[in-house]
Structure 1
Amino acid sequence: MKASIITRLFRGQVLSSDFFARHWLPVLICIVVIMVYITTKYTCQTNMEKIAALERTLEIVNNEKARERSAFMGRKRETSMQHMVDSLHLNLKVQAQPPYKIPK
């Protein structure tokens, strides 16, 4: 009488050394495929983390660029206004000291 597959599995008869001796090539291929899958998944996850970090850095750089551009445009407008005032000979100059409130 032949034992059931569950009984043979619990007794260690299904995955015995004889099984591996007969089916060594498919077992080796399965192990290699599993290792390649794990390596690919790890590499993909690492690259996704790098991409997320680079996107955060890009956002910071874009914000810095916008701030610098705004400051540059402000200086450029001030310089162009000063040139226009000078060309019209209005004798207006930029104050060296900022305005202050007179206390009451």
Structure 2
Amino acid sequence: FSLLLGIGVPPSATYVLSSLLTAPAIINLATSIGIPQDTATLAVHMFLFYMAMLADITPPVALSAFAASAVFELDPIRTGLRLLLLLFRSTYM
């Protein structure tokens, strides 16, 4: 949801909107399976913040990738897709 919401919106606004709209439901889901309230709240907001940051880096917006590809004279679409693959791999390291 944050990736779709973040298309064309700054990351801080994406985080605020996604935390207002989706965080309570995700926290309720986490607490219903036995995760403590404080832990669930922290984890959900960290996840939503990370996804809000990804919205600026992933295609089709990818402002950071397009700016970097213009500086180094590379193909912007290939740069954005390469960055997307790198980001999702590095998430779990």
| TM-score, normalising length: structure 2 | 0.32
Q: Which structure is larger by alpha-carbon Rg, 1 or 2?
A: 1
Q: Which has the higher contact order (CA 8 A, sep 6+)?
A: 2
